[in-house]
Every structure is written in structure tokens, then in C-alpha cells.
Structure 1
Amino acid sequence: MLIRRPVLDAIAAGSVDMAFRRWSHARVRAGTRLRTAVGLLEVVAVDVVEESDLTAEDARRSGHDSLDALRAANARRDGALFRVTLRPAGPDPRIALRESAVLSDDDRTALDARLARMDRTAPWTGAVLRLIADHPGVRAPDLAARLGRETAPFKRDVRKLKELGLTESLEVGYRLSPRGTAYLHMLM
């Protein structure tokens, strides 16, 4: 579920706690936690609503200036209208993970095992880590081209490394996190 940054900031500040989406079926469930630029958000409830039942309060609580703006934002898609109730659920746990630059022997063993599983069909993790280390802030298509890869699968692989706390996204491109740097130094 994509949420624009101003709305994310408003959710974090407590002034927004809803989103409305037109979907063919619910794409999130109550209890789901979403990782966002402002930390974790928890989906509290997901309900189908009738557009005619929307109120100015719904518009305000979803970050829209008016009821007309809320309706217009959802007019471009087909499907049922869902009200998704959200609340902040804490910081993104990957932030603390990637900031930990001291790796224990157990950390290294666990990372070695995870990366070995990722490399099972075709080794790529070491090359991607070294490439990002050598070229921080370089666009993903340019990095992918250096490895002779398509951009979309390359980005998927970088997200896998991000899940392990080894990389972080920049405004443009990526860089190794302190954890990723420490791990790469252990490999050398």
C-alpha cells in the first residue's frame, strides 16, 4: 500500500489515521505492519464503505483538504472503496539493525548462511555488496548495467540485502550500511 510522504508525516504526527483505496479486493488486513519512510504503520481495520457515506471528517482524517478532494482521489480507479485505519507502530527495525557496525561471530555465521542461500542458484551477493561499496549514490540502472543485469531484478536483490540490514537506500542509489560495511570488511 503506497502512501505519499506528506500523508506519512501526518500519520506520524497523529493528525491522519485513515486512508481510502479502491481495490477489487482488500490488499491489506487488520494487524498488517507496513514499513514506511516514517517507521512502521499498523493496519487497525479494513472496511468496505460506500462513497455516499463519506464525510468531511473522513476527508480530514485521511489527509485531504475536502470531501471533494477525497472523492476525486478515489475516482480514478474501479472496485470497492476501502477505509484503512492506520496507526504508528514504532520505528523500522531495519534501522537499528543496519546501524549496528559490530558483528559477533554468531551475526557473521547467520549472515554467511543467509547469503549462501541467496547465492545458491547464481552467486550475486558479494558482487552487489562490493559494487555498492565502490559506487555509493549511483542510480540502480547504472549499477545493474555494470553487472550486465536488468534493473528490476537487481533492485529486488538490493532489497533483500536491505532486509538483512546490509544496505540502505539514498535519494539516488544505495550505500552500504555500517553493518554492511563491517560485514564486507570481514569478508576481505
Structure 2
Amino acid sequence: MRISPLELDAVVAGTIDLAFRRWERPRLLVGTRMRTRVGLVEVTSVDEVDPAGLTEDDARRAGAPDLAALRRGLAANPERPVFRVGIRFAGEDPRAVLRRTPPTGAEIADLQARLDRLDRASSIGPWTAATLAIVDAYPERRAPELAEELGRPTAEFKRDVRKLKELGLTESLDIGYRLSTRGAAVVDAALQAAGRPVPERAAPPSGTPLPSLGAPATRALRAAGLTTLEAVAAVPEADLLALHGVGPIAVARIRAALGR
């Protein structure tokens, strides 16, 4: 189930706890936890309802301006039933916790064994070390450029990076990827075992990282030298909106991150 970025922010804040969808049949089970950019969103209920019985309170809890707007959002596919889906913020994505937790020596050995299994199962031969290395060398570079460096189709490259992400070794950014703390430890251990030097990695910008804003806005802010929340906070919203690629949704996310 797709939930818009602004709706996700409201789910975290607790101001949205319902969603209404027209489905041919229920697509989610109670207890399902969906991974989103803000963390886990849990499905607390799934009920078929009569659209004629929807209320202003339903609209408010679903984030619609009013009941009329909620009904307009359900106007498509009128032959399908309407489902009322209860949702709640269920906390941080466990993968995020995993990514920033330094692994023990035993965990590094286990992760390397799992990477070896991925290499053996691949039809193109070993790929994990090269993929980790290029993400390490070029953080925040677009996936098509990284794939081209490796001579691989972009879709296949992105699929394989997702496998590394599931192990907590990489993290996706608005533009490109970077190694996690866990991923850097695995890469460094492999280099040391091979007698090769460990690279010096650039430290992240000091200050509070920007929230997820999407690639166009992130690219525009980066070009303007605005890489932290503190830097953006000092710029009037009108000036931010004047940057090509920064729109109202990005500014709303910045405002929410600043608590304004």
C-alpha cells in the first residue's frame, strides 16, 4: 500500500491512523509491518466499509481536508469495495539499527560467509566485493553511474544492492548509496585479511542530516551548499522554493524536521 511522504510524516506524528482504499480484495493482513522511509508502519485493522457511511472524522484521521475530499479520492474504480485500513507508526526499521551497529568479529565472519553464498549462487559470478567497493568509493553517486562503472545493467545492480541492504551493509540515500557502519567494518576486515590498506573515508558533514527530500531537492540543496538541517534553517522558505528541484513537499518535510 502506497502512502505519500506527507502522510507518512503524519503517521509518525499520530495525526493519521486510517487509510481508505478501493481494492478487489484485502491486500494486507492485520499485523503486517510495512517498511517506509520513516520506519515501520503497522496495519492494525482491515475492514470493508460502506462508502456512504464515511464520516468527517474518518476523513480527518485519514489526512483528508474534509469528507468531500476523501470521497473524491475514492471516486476511481467505483465497482471495487472500499476498505478501511488502520495504521500506526511501529518504530524504527530494524535494518537502520543494524546498519549503525558495529559488528563483532563473529558477526563479520558470518556476514562474509553469507556474501560468499550470494557470490556462489550468482549467474554472473562473484559480485558482492566489487559492489561494496564501488559504493564505498563513490557514496551518493547515482545508481546508473555505479552500474556503468561495473558494466552491469542498472536494474540488476540495484537489485543486488538491495540484497546487501537486507544484510545491513548499505543504506539508500536520496541520491545513490553509502556503506553503513556495519558494511564498512566488513569491507575493512576483508581488506586487512588480504593485506591491503583500509581506505580513509570522508567524515559526514557536521550537523543534523537533512530528512529524506527526494533526489531533485537533495541535488538542488547540495549544489547550493546546504547539506545540513542547520544550514537550511537559516534560509527563508521563499529562497528554498526558488531553487530548481525544491518544491512545497520538500519544504514541508524540512519544516516538520525543524519542528515549525
Question: What displacement does 1:77 show?
Answer: 4.4
Provide the residue aligned with 2:11 in structure 1: 11
Tell me the percent identity: 52
Where structure 1 has 5 or more consecutive residues not aligned to the other structure, the ranges are none
Where structure 2 has 5 or more consecutive residues not aligned to the other structure, the ranges are 192-260
Provide the residue aligned with 1:153 in structure 2: 156
Counterparts of 1:50 and 1:151, CA distance in 2: 44
Question: What displacement does 1:150 show?
Answer: 2.3
Secondary structure of 2:16's counterpart equals: coil
What is the Cα-based RMSD across aligned positions, in Å?
A: 1.6
Counterparts of 2:60 and 2:90, CA distance in 1: 21
What is the TM-score of this pair, normalised by structure 2?
0.68
User: Which residues of 2 match residues 72-91 of structure 1 at below 5 A?
Assistant: 72-77=72-77, 79-91=80-92
Question: What displacement does 1:174 show?
Answer: 0.6
Counterparts of 1:67 and 1:153, CA distance in 2: 44
Structure 2 CA distance for partners of 1:145 and 1:10, relative to 1, 3 Å: same
Provide the residue aligned with 1:93 in structure 2: 94
The structure showing larger relative contact order (alpha-carbon pairs under 8 Å, at least 6 residues apart) is 1
Question: Is it true that 1:173 corresponds to 2:182 in the alignment?
Answer: no
Provide the residue aligned with 1:187 in structure 2: 190
1:8-50 CA deviation, whole Å, 9 max, x = no partner? 1111111110111222222210011112222212111111122
Question: What displacement does 1:149 show?
Answer: 2.2
Q: Stretches of 4+ moved more than 4 A in 1?
A: none
Q: Partner amino acid for 1:28?
A: L
Structure 2 CA distance for partners of 1:167 and 1:72, relative to 1, 3 Å: same
Provide the residue aligned with 2:146 in structure 1: 143
The worse-fitting range, judged by mean Cα deviation, of 46-55 and 28-37 is: 46-55
Aligned pair count reads: 187
1:137-177 CA deviation, whole Å, 9 max, x = no partner? 11112222222222222222211211111111111111111
1:42-69 CA deviation, whole Å, 9 max, x = no partner? 1111111222122111111011111222
